[in-house]
């Protein structure tokens, strides 16, 4: 046992001394740190600039401006409502729409919100009850910025509109901000119902829908007034809308959300198992190839038995893999506890299973035994080859056989599909660790976990015997790449 640990310590030390190990180890924490920053840089927060030229009297421009503002306030209200619910701050504004989350916010809710002082008044009320640990509310940016009509454009005759709009849509000065969309409402809009929209790129469907809705309402109101309804009644008719009552689970608590959240840790571990296996496996392979390639295997075998060497290498590599996974999980936990926002909301419940000893034991079992099982393939390949180039020939098919089904199964688990195929993969030992880990979040019957675990253990024991023989027989073998027949003969050889 002492020699096994000495070999394991050397393997561990050699791998952890490699620059590539540290680079790989830091990839995830760096991604976690820089991901949100990169997202911030990549996100286009600038509001789309909309210019309205209303020659019909100004009513349409006013209605559209009011509607855009209302929509923004509705968005603010919705976000504020979720913020209040997430941090349990409803006591700050009993009766206020932002303290209620049971409906789609109507125009009346928005009007009441604005009348009560809007976001500043709401935040003032919230601040009175908000604990210091609760982060500040971040209001969403407005989607559209309505701009006054440029004089030249406002004065342009209908045939000259395009020419007048051109410098606004595509300004020659690169520092000047372009207008994204120009909406022209002709003087006879109420009669013809025709309006023009000029844009420097395809307008968003949302803007088109919004313009269409407001202009339709304007036309209908005019039509109703033309039919003898009072202006007040016509306006009221245009504003008729259903009061939609909505019941939703708290943020992150939806059925699909819950399944996804529960699956984050097991799926994450499954991914990490795959990643660290590929990395540490190839490092171990490199070490084995080095021992053969550098002709030092005989010196080593004079001191330790092939079995001690094999177990030492396995333990050293598994320790490296577990260290990597532990560091990555720790980074995730730190990110969950140290950060705020939607990601943290997902990660926190995702790491909740770590409080369950049963779940921890299951994850650890499939992680460690799976690691040993797959690593044995790398070890056997390392013992049979003299160079990394030669090793790649064996490695490629093994990696493909392992990884391809795993990527498919993870997608199947996430989408809730897979059925019989998933069950079958669960009991095929080389895929068992990945499949069981991936299925832990979405629900896997206990008997399947137990049977799959037993099969995996038996398979790994068989591997230790067969690949152990292959390892022992191949260590000192030289010459050509062994044929399949040779490999099988070495696996069957019981002694020297």
Partner 1 sequence: MLASSSETAALRLDGVSKKFDQTLAVDDLSFAVREGETFGFLGGNGAGKTTSLRMVLDIIRPTSGSISVLGRAPGRENAAAIGFLPEERGLYRQMSAIDTIVYFGRLKGMSASDARREGLALLERFGLGGNAKTTIDKLSKGMAQKVQLAAAIVNRPTLLLLDEPFSGLDPVNQTLLEDEIRRAASDGATVVFSTHVMQHAERLCDRLLFLARGRKRFEGTIDEARGSMPARLLLTARQSPAGLPGVASATRLGDGADGWEEWEVHLAPQADAGDLLETCIAQGFALRRCEQQRPGLHDVFIHLVGPTEARA
Could you say whether residue 301 binds partner 1 (CB under 8 A)? yes
For partner 1, which is the closer residue by CB, 286 or 460?
286
For partner 1, which is the closer residue by CB, 6 or 451?
6
For partner 1, which is the closer residue by CB, 18 or 112?
18
Q: Segment near partner 1 (CB under 8 A), from 240-248, 294-302, 367-375, 407-415? A: 294-302
Instruction: Decide if 474 contacts 380 (C-beta within 8 A).
Output: yes
Could you say whether residue 305 binds partner 1 (CB under 8 A)? yes
Could you say whether residue 342 binds partner 1 (CB under 8 A)? no
Q: Segment near partner 1 (CB under 8 A), from 53-61, 262-270, 303-311, 427-435? A: 303-311
Cβ neighbours of residue 47 closer than 8 Å, sequence gap 6 or more = 141, 142, 143, 144, 145
Footprint on residues 472-491 left by partner 1 (CB under 8 A): 476
CA separation, residue 348 to residues 112, 244, 333, 352, 353 (Å): 35, 32, 8, 6, 10
Closest-CA residue to 399 (of 277, 314, 485): 277
Alpha helices in 43-133 (DSSP H): 59-86, 107-115, 118-129
Could you say whether residue 6 binds partner 1 (CB under 8 A)? yes
* Burial (0-12, 13-18, 19+ Cβ within 10 Å), 342: exposed
Which of 10, 82, 85, 86 contacts partner 1 by CB under 8 A?
10
- Smallest gap from Cβ 6 to partner 1, in A, equals 5
Q: CA 226, CA 220: separation in Å to the nearest integer?
A: 10
- Smallest gap from Cβ 395 to partner 1, in A, equals 21
Could you say whether residue 3 binds partner 1 (CB under 8 A)? yes
For partner 1, which is the closer residue by CB, 303 or 424?
303
Could you say whether residue 302 binds partner 1 (CB under 8 A)? yes
Could you say whether residue 196 binds partner 1 (CB under 8 A)? no
DSSP-assigned letters across all residues of 168-212: HHS-SSTTSPPP-EEEEE-TTHHHH---EEEESSPPPHHHHHHHH
Asked whether the CA dihedral 443, 448, 453, 456 is positive or negative, the reply is negative
Q: CA 356, CA 372: separation in Å to the nearest integer?
A: 24
* Burial (0-12, 13-18, 19+ Cβ within 10 Å), 447: exposed
Footprint on residues 438-477 left by partner 1 (CB under 8 A): 476
Instruction: Classify 103 as helix, strand or coil.
Output: strand
Which of 163, 170, 206, 295 contacts partner 1 by CB under 8 A?
295
CA separation, residue 41 to residues 37, 45, 53, 225, 274 (Å): 6, 10, 34, 50, 31
Could you say whether residue 388 binds partner 1 (CB under 8 A)? no
Could you say whether residue 88 binds partner 1 (CB under 8 A)? no
- Smallest gap from Cβ 304 to partner 1, in A, equals 6
- Smallest gap from Cβ 305 to partner 1, in A, equals 6
- Smallest gap from Cβ 25 to partner 1, in A, equals 18
Which of 20, 212, 216, 294 contacts partner 1 by CB under 8 A?
294
First to last CA, the chain: 22
- Smallest gap from Cβ 332 to partner 1, in A, equals 31
Q: Segment near partner 1 (CB under 8 A), from 2-10, 47-55, 65-73, 96-104? A: 2-10
CB-CB neighbours of 150 under 10 Å: 17
For partner 1, which is the closer residue by CB, 150 or 304?
304
Which of 303, 342, 458, 465 contacts partner 1 by CB under 8 A?
303
- Smallest gap from Cβ 496 to partner 1, in A, equals 4
Q: CA 24, CA 38: separation in Å to the nearest integer?
A: 20
The binding track of 11-50 with respect to partner 1, each residue x by CB under 8 A or -, is ---x--xx--------------------------------
Q: CA 375, CA 372: separation in Å to the nearest integer?
A: 5
Cβ neighbours of residue 401 closer than 8 Å, sequence gap 6 or more = 430
Instruction: Count residues near partner 1 (CB under 8 A).
Output: 25
Instruction: Decide if 348 contacts 339 (C-beta within 8 A).
Output: no
For partner 1, which is the closer residue by CB, 139 or 301?
301
Footprint on residues 167-186 left by partner 1 (CB under 8 A): none
In the numeric block, the tokens 């056997």 are attached to 380
For partner 1, which is the closer residue by CB, 203 or 293?
293
Q: Segment near partner 1 (CB under 8 A), from 108-116, 181-189, 293-301, 435-443? A: 293-301
CB-CB neighbours of 194 under 10 Å: 11
Q: Which residues of this protein are in contact with partner 1, per CB under 8 A?
A: 3, 6-7, 10, 14, 17-18, 290-291, 293-296, 298-305, 308, 476, 495-496
């Amino acid at each position: 046992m002492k020699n096994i640990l000495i070999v394991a310590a050397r393997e561990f030390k050699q791998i952890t001394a490699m620059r590539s190990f540290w680079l790989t180890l830091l990839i995830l924490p760096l991604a976690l740190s820089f991901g949100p920053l990169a997202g911030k840089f990549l996100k286009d927060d600038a509001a789309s600039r909309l210019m309205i030229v209303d020659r019909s009297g100004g009513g349409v421009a006013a209605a559209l401006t009011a509607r855009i503002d209302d929509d923004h306030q509705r968005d603010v209200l919705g976000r504020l409502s979720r913020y209040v619910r997430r941090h349990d701050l409803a006591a700050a504004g009993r009766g206020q729409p932002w303290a209620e989350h049971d409906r789609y916010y109507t125009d009346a809710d928005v009007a009441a919100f604005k009348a009560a002082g809007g976001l500043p008044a709401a935040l003032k009320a919230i601040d009175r009850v908000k604990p210091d640990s609760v982060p500040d509310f971040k209001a969403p940016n407005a989607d559209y910025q309505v701009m006054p009509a440029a004089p030249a454009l406002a004065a342009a005759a209908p045939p000259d509109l395009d020419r007048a709009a051109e410098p606004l849509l595509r300004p020659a000065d690169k520092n000047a901000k372009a207008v994204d969309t120009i909406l022209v409402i002709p003087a006879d809009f109420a009669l013809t119902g025709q309006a023009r929209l000029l844009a420097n790129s395809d307008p968003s469907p949302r803007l088109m829908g919004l313009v269409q809705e407001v202009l339709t309402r304007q036309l209908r109101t005019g039509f109703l007034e033309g039919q003898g309804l009072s202006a007040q009644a016509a306006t009221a008719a245009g504003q008729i809308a259903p009061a939609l009552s909505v019941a939703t689970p708290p943020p992150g608590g939806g059925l699909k959300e819950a399944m996804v959240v529960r699956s984050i840790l097991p799926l994450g571990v499954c991914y990490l198992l795959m990643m660290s296996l590929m990395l540490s496996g190839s490092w171990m392979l490199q070490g084995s190839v080095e021992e053969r390639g550098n002709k030092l295997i005989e010196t080593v075998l004079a001191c330790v038995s092939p079995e001690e060497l094999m177990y030492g290498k396995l333990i050293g590599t598994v320790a490296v893999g577990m260290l990597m996974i532990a560091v990555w999980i720790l980074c995730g936990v730190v990110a969950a506890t140290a950060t705020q926002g939607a990601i943290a909301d997902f990660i926190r419940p995702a790491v909740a299973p770590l409080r369950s000893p049963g779940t921890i034991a299951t994850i650890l079992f499939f992680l460690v035994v799976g690691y040993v099982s797959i690593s044995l393939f790398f070890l056997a390949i390392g013992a049979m080859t003299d160079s990394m180039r030669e090793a790649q020939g064996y490695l490629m098919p093994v990696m493909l056989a392992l990884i391809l089904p795993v990527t498919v199964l993870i997608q199947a688990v996430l989408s809730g599909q897979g059925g019989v195929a998933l069950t079958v993969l669960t009991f095929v030992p080389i895929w068992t660790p990945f499949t069981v880990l991936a299925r832990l979040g979405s629900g896997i019957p206990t008997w399947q976990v137990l049977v799959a675990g037993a099969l995996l253990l038996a398979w790994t024991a068989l591997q230790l015997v067969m690949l152990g023989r292959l390892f022992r027989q191949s260590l000192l073998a030289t010459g050509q790449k062994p044929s399949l027949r040779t490999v099988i003969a070495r696996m069957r050889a019981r002694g020297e």
